[in-house]
A = this chain, B = another copy of it.
Amino acid sequence: MNVSIVGATGYGGMELIRFLNNHPQFKIKSLHTSSQFGRSLYEENAHLMHMKDTLEEIDPEAIAKKSDIVFLATPSGVSSQLISEFSDLDIKVIDLSGDLRLQTPGEYENWYKKPAAPQHIIEEAVYGLAEWNAEAIKKATIIANPGCYPTASLLGLAPLFTEGLAGADADVIIDAKSGVSGAGKSPSAVTHFSEMNENFKIYKVNQHQHIPEIEQQLGRWSSGLQPITFNTHLVPMTRGIMATMYIKVNRETSNVELKDLYETVYENHPFVRVQPLDRYPSTKQVYGSNFCDIGVDYDERTGKVTVVSVIDNLVKGAAGQAIQNANILMGLEETAGLWNSPLYP
Contact = CB atoms under 8 A, between A and B. Distances in A.
Interface of A: 11, 14-15, 17-18, 21-22, 45-52, 171, 173, 175, 177, 179-181, 183, 185-189, 191-203, 205-206, 226-229, 231, 233, 235-240, 242, 244, 246, 270, 273, 275, 279-289, 291, 293, 295, 297, 299, 301-302, 304, 306, 308, 310, 339-345
Contact of A47 (B177, B279, B287): B287
B47 A306 contact: no
15 contacts: A21-B339, A21-B341, A47-B287, A49-B293, A173-B246, A193-B197, A195-B345, A197-B237, A198-B287, A200-B240, A200-B282, A200-B310, A202-B308, A206-B306, A231-B306
Given A246-B229, A343-B18, A240 B194 contact: no
A113 B201 CA distance: 34
A257 B270 CA distance: 50
Interface centre among A21, A175, A235, A275 (most CB of B within 10 A): A175
A218 to B, nearest CB: 14
Contacts of A17: 341
B202 A279 contact: no
A188 B187 CA distance: 6
Nearest to A300: B206
Contacts of A18: 340-341, 343-344
Contact of A199 (B199, B282, B291): B282
A221 B254 CA distance: 32
Contacts of A50: 270, 273, 291
B46 A228 contact: no
Given A200-B310, A202-B244, A231-B244, 9 more contacts: A18-B340, A18-B344, A48-B341, A187-B189, A191-B192, A202-B295, A203-B280, A206-B301, A233-B244
Given A193-B197, A233-B244, A280-B205, A11 B288 contact: no
Nearest to A280: B202
Interface centre among A18, A173, A239, A343 (most CB of B within 10 A): A343
A290 to B, nearest CB: 11
Given A22-B340, A175-B244, A181-B345, A238 B193 contact: yes
A198 B198 contact: yes
Given A199-B240, A297-B206, A306-B231, A47 B340 contact: no
B197 A180 contact: yes
Given A173-B173, A302-B227, A199 B283 contact: yes
Given A197-B237, A242-B233, A283-B200, A187 B192 contact: yes
Given A200-B237, A227-B302, A275 B46 contact: yes
Contact of A180 (B180, B193, B199, B244): B193
